[in-house]
A and B are shown apart, each in its own frame.
Chain A
């Protein structure tokens, strides 16, 4: 029997943990009859968000749920998920990510970093939350928009807005007091930050980039496991990935209904608006390929584009 120390930067109350990480750990413990067990360290208890991958490599942890944007220095190709205009739901994005983690450049990046990806899933696509309805690129001109990371900052800029970095805990007051006009945010995380209390318009069918989580196990440990145990980890992982994606999509649909009832304008972009926005943000993908400066980048983007039907 083996007990794996599993690091996690999310709290146990987050939907990603309830429907994803915790569920998977329980399923694995049951399916392997206790052969594999877990000691779970949520909320960055074992290592900070950015240090999770190093912690697995160094034997501080055996496994970790990585937020790939925290590791863009080591996993640059995996940042393809952050590009705007691709997946339209967590289910669609997760399916694409799972396929790309099975074989190819995204998987190779993890292996080269000394860890094996077991499964991965995405947050529902980022939407825009604002105090006015943002539609055509002209509406976005000079808006102060909270973004996280360079890809999102580029996204805001490609639409004529100004990308501003503000630490997560400060976003609420920044919007409430007008320091920010708009926020690019994953809708599932909106209640955690109570942003629905301070905005009046929330888009529902945009795709302003994404965010991927990947569960990894240290490769020398994973490779030493019996083949059937490995297979169980992976197949239960695939089930969990599909489940947590659906649960998030359903939760977002429920949230949208709640917000509508609260009097918030939850709106869909018209076909014309969507086309104009996608046209404008296309530059972000071009820039990404140039910036990564890696032969794999073009082919990764092509595969990703195909898998998400864009």
Chain B
């Protein structure tokens, strides 16, 4: 136990003194493994962690979706489309940020990974908000929080993994994610509206003018065609999400070539930036795997959840504790690592207390998704920071009011299971 706190202290110290987050987790994880297992096994963990983490076809979606967004942005497609949205609702205070939320929902229906969605929005929607004198703090936060919609709105890699780990119907999970996804989006819009009314972080845009709005909307067409093609490829059965991402890259390339808005240099820069974000994300995932590995060997998570499972407290209290544990884990770890560590104990516990497996899946997904927004490891904020160059501290401060909203939505989902369950029950009972 003493060693465990020493390792946590080491991790915190490294991060405070600006050692990159990935490196800090790798160092602390290796030190922990050495204390726990001995030097030789600890070093042996390093043999193949980076390879095993990166050699994954599912991960391909990350560089490809980032590249698609980079191409559309460099080729001026996203900006024109967002300006069109802005022409319609930008005259309202906070309208541009709300348009970003709407775009996040559409993107969420294409993307199963939160970081990929955040990266796309950070590359396209953020510069528009900045250009219209939105505060960096609000704009980067909206992009980070909007990105989390991707794992609740189907398709979602997290929901699929939950379904596989717990043998819960993935079909039902997907349908169940829709209403909580829209609820979150509505909550987001509400917080933006409040911030816009009470502060000057989200100023009014240009006054509304029908002719200009219609004319500008022409530029939305290629974007919509592309989104429909990518959605069509997935739902029409032509491609898996990773493959659809590749189609999206090709589609974006065709659009910007037809528009003649992309130079060869910009093409190279887009690829370079996509690689950059991918390297950063994979390094964090690989090093957090080393740290998760250390946590597994300490048996700390195991012991904590076992205690919860054997005590005689009321079930609501136990559920609250499970959620809290998941939230704390979310501060340090990757979503999929949390699922694989916690579900073997938390799922049977929840089932033993009589909770619905689909409902629990959505609640757990919502909970680990909040972890993407909290320091020290808040992957969405990191991705947004990498793309926008807004300091992390500023982003985390901007996220704070949205975090409050996320907690309110989570409490609503916990208190009223019907919010989650009525849609799958409606569709499955036919």
- Closest chain-A Cβ to B163's Cβ sits at a distance in Å of 7
**Which residues of chain B are near A58, meaning CB under 8 Å?**
40-41, 44, 47
Question: At the interface, yes or no: B234 with Cβ under 8 Å from chain A?
Answer: yes
Cα A50 to Cα B52 with chains together (Å): 8
Question: At the interface, yes or no: A75 with Cβ under 8 Å from chain B?
Answer: no
Given A41-B296, A194-B170, residue A177 in contact with residue B237 (CB < 8 A): yes
From B37, B234, B344, give the contact of A43 (CB < 8 A).
B344
B237 and A192 form a contact (CB under 8 A): no
The B interface, classified by DSSP as helix, strand, loop or mixed, is: helix
Given A166-B240, A194-B170, residue A173 in contact with residue B344 (CB < 8 A): no
From A46, A178, A197, give the contact of B293 (CB < 8 A).
A46
- Closest chain-B Cβ to A189's Cβ sits at a distance in Å of 10
Cα A154 to Cα B235 with chains together (Å): 29
- Closest chain-A Cβ to B282's Cβ sits at a distance in Å of 15
**Which residues of chain B are near A166, meaning CB under 8 Å?**
240
Question: At the interface, yes or no: A279 with Cβ under 8 Å from chain B?
Answer: no
Question: At the interface, yes or no: A42 with Cβ under 8 Å from chain B?
Answer: yes
Cα A5 to Cα B37 with chains together (Å): 11
B164 and A54 form a contact (CB under 8 A): no
Question: At the interface, yes or no: B271 with Cβ under 8 Å from chain A?
Answer: no
A46 and B164 form a contact (CB under 8 A): no
**Which residues of chain A are near B169, meaning CB under 8 Å?**
194, 197
Question: At the interface, yes or no: B239 with Cβ under 8 Å from chain A?
Answer: yes
Give the number of residues in B that approach A within 8 Å (Cβ atoms): 44
Question: At the interface, yes or no: B48 with Cβ under 8 Å from chain A?
Answer: yes
Binary interface profile of B, 347-361, with partner A (CB < 8 Å = 1, else 0)?
A: 110000000000000
Binary interface profile of A, 153-171, with partner B (CB < 8 Å = 1, else 0)?
A: 0000000000001111110
Cα A43 to Cα B164 with chains together (Å): 11
Which residue from chain B places its CB closest to the CB of A168 in the assembled complex? B164
B237 and A39 form a contact (CB under 8 A): no
Question: At the interface, yes or no: B404 with Cβ under 8 Å from chain A?
Answer: no
**Which residues of chain A are near B45, meaning CB under 8 Å?**
60
A13 and B236 form a contact (CB under 8 A): no
Given A11-B344, A51-B48, residue A192 in contact with residue B164 (CB < 8 A): yes
Question: At the interface, yes or no: A176 with Cβ under 8 Å from chain B?
Answer: yes
Give the number of residues in A that approach B within 8 Å (Cβ atoms): 39
**Which residues of chain B are near A42, meaning CB under 8 Å?**
344
B157 and A169 form a contact (CB under 8 A): yes
**Which residues of chain B are near A191, meaning CB under 8 Å?**
167
Cα A269 to Cα B233 with chains together (Å): 34
Find residues 222-266 in chain A having any chain B CB closer than 8 Å to their own CB.
none
Question: At the interface, yes or no: A45 with Cβ under 8 Å from chain B?
Answer: yes
Question: At the interface, yes or no: B297 with Cβ under 8 Å from chain A?
Answer: yes
Cα A192 to Cα B58 with chains together (Å): 19
Cα A42 to Cα B340 with chains together (Å): 9
A169 and B344 form a contact (CB under 8 A): no
Which residue from chain A places its CB closest to the CB of B339 in the assembled complex? A43
A169 and B161 form a contact (CB under 8 A): yes
Find residues 38-72 in chain A having any chain B CB closer than 8 Å to their own CB.
39, 41-48, 50-51, 54-55, 58-60
- Closest chain-A Cβ to B241's Cβ sits at a distance in Å of 7
B344 and A179 form a contact (CB under 8 A): no
A45 and B340 form a contact (CB under 8 A): yes
- Closest chain-A Cβ to B285's Cβ sits at a distance in Å of 12
**Which residues of chain A are near B341, meaning CB under 8 Å?**
43, 45
Find residues 329-353 in chain B having any chain A CB closer than 8 Å to their own CB.
340-341, 343-344, 347-348
A60 and B37 form a contact (CB under 8 A): yes
Which residue from chain A places its CB closest to the CB of B43 in the assembled complex? A58
- Enumerate 9 A-B pairs (CB-CB under 8 Å) in ascending A order: A43-B340, A54-B44, A59-B44, A168-B164, A169-B58, A169-B160, A172-B171, A191-B167, A197-B169
The 6 closest A-B pairs by CB, nearest first: A178-B237, A58-B44, A177-B237, A45-B296, A169-B160, A60-B41
Residues of A within 8 A of B (CB): 5, 11-13, 39, 41-48, 50-51, 54-55, 58-60, 165-170, 172-174, 176-179, 191-194, 197-198
Residues of B within 8 A of A (CB): 37-38, 40-41, 44-45, 47-48, 52, 56-58, 155, 157, 160-161, 163-167, 169-171, 234-242, 292-293, 296-297, 299, 340-341, 343-344, 347-348
